[in-house]
Amino acid sequence: MFDDFKQARIDVGEAELFVRHGGDGPPVLLLHGHPRTHATWHRVAPLLAAGHTVVCPDLRGYGRSSKPPSTPDHEPYSKRAMARDMVALMRALGHDRFAVVGHDRGAYVAQRLALDHPSAVTHLAVLDSVPIGEALARCDAGFAARWWHWFFLGQTAKPAERVINADPDAWYRGDPEQMGAQAYEDYRRAIHDPLTVHAMCEDYRAGLGLDRAADDADRAAGRTVACPMLFLWATRDDMEDLYGDPLQVWRSWADDVRGHAVESGHHLAEDAPDELADAIATFVTQRGAQAR
């Protein structure tokens, strides 16, 4: 995986992040989701590296990155904390401004980066996700039935870690053919680490509390994503079932939004890497509303 990419462990102050980076050109930060690691991008990153510097970290708590101790409010696993990591990481690699692409839980970090650090983010691309605050505000029986794991992983009275750690392979059911053999082994090593499982649950606990509060505060204050935004969603997932035209959801959160569906399951980087890499490369070379 990641031929010609360098790998490093970088201290960002609150955590130490494992990262692969390579290529040459304008920087693009790729953020994975749950329960994946940076390796989910192994088919996309080399395609982008032909014209961009590509940075693929494990989020704090995930993969080979460190697992900071949590707190009763789960702040160390909030998307605001993870966004701080990413600004520090990119500065350590010499990038003060960069494009960011986020999938699943990584999409929430990418959104928070764009909202909290607008001077650092040139372009925001979100894959198969709407804001946490938006999803919870719209939550109904249909959402709860499909996304029940949010509430299972996020509660603390009966922690989910004990259930997951009893048989991580049965719980997560990763597919080595879909993911690629080496990416699958990286993911599998992570899900068999109880500290990683706990950190991933903390991510969801922060999501139901501090992350939703941050989104709600932005909505109340009228804050929106100022940079150009791309939203791509999978045809074989539930974005359209839940939200109709999901692009319209994002148009209330960002000033300049474009996007389209991609023939794919939820993990676009694994199912449709060529189309995804092409869409990202085209987007991050564009500027402003005239590129719609």
Our measurement of the distance from residue 254's CA atom to the centroid of its chain's CA atoms, rounded to an integer in Å, reads 17
Q: Active-site residue among 32, 95, 123, 266?
A: 266
**CB contact at 8 A, 75 and 1:** no
DSSP assignment, residue 272?
Answer: -
CA distances (Å), 253 to each of 20, 63, 225, in order? 31, 30, 6
**CB contact at 8 A, 99 and 70:** no
Strands (E), the chain: 6-11, 16-23, 27-31, 53-57, 98-103, 121-127, 229-234, 257-262
Dist. CA 126–CA 107, nearest whole Å: 5
- Quick check: is 266 catalytic? yes
Dist. CA 14–CA 114, nearest whole Å: 20
The residues, any chain, with a CB within 8 Å of residue 28's CB and separated by 6 or more, are: 48, 52, 53, 54, 55, 98, 99, 100, 101, 280, 284
Q: Could you write out the DSSP letters of every residue in 6-30?
A: EEEEEE-SS-EEEEEEEESSSEEEE
Q: Active-site residue among 85, 104, 215, 218?
A: 104
Phi and psi angles of residue 258, each rounded to the nearest 5 degrees, phi first: -140, 170
The residues, any chain, with a CB within 8 Å of residue 147's CB and separated by 6 or more, are: 135
- Quick check: is 11 catalytic? no
Catalytic residues: 104, 266
